[in-house]
Chain A
């Protein structure tokens, strides 16, 4: 069973600060997705990274896939209250039967 550990589990910071969220596993993934879930909503896809070492930027959010495709990070610059939510990574394995495994989640609160 693949396990995706996210850290930190909870993070509360002031508006304007920077932060990094980590997603780690001992398993190799063919791709990795990041979702954000706001209170009272379902998760919404932010980005998919596919290539080892890949970096993708989405405005103030920077996503990186580890070289070995076992881990990923999400860096947010100048956090805003609208960034508040539950961030979920999800690893995709495709060894004849594709599976999507969700991480443990990071609950982020940005204080105005």
Chain B
């Protein structure tokens, strides 16, 4: 139990569906992150939120839309995805702000395994 909870753990969706991934952290951290983990590729940073403001968007396609309504919750809205988007999506949080301050340790959730048919 890392204090970061992701739901759902598994998701299968068609290319025309709209779904959302949810992340909640119970650690009082200031920054939250979305990472994509694919086979044979390093962890790819997608988005960073610091104090509820998006501070980084690593050229992610617009079919991925993040939302951070408060410092404890982070969503990733998915629409018209492609089969190559199938991957494990990991949420993480850190005590630092992730914006030039000392980010320190990342606390990851267990991930949401996404399969796009």
Contacts and interface: CB of A to CB of B under 8 A. Distances in A.
B2 A97 contact: no
| Interface residue tally on A, bucketed by range | 20 to 34
A92 B42 contact: no
A102 B46 CA distance: 13
| Interface residue tally on B, bucketed by range | 20 to 34
Contacts, number: 51
Interface stretch (A13-21, A42-50, A58-66, A67-75): A42-50
A107 to B, nearest CB: 10
Contacts of A98: 96, 98-103
Interface of B: 2, 4, 41-43, 45, 90, 92, 96, 98-111
Interface of A: 4, 33, 35, 40-45, 48, 88, 90, 92, 94, 96-98, 100-105
5 nearest interchain CB pairs?
A42-B108, A102-B43, A45-B105, A102-B42, A43-B108
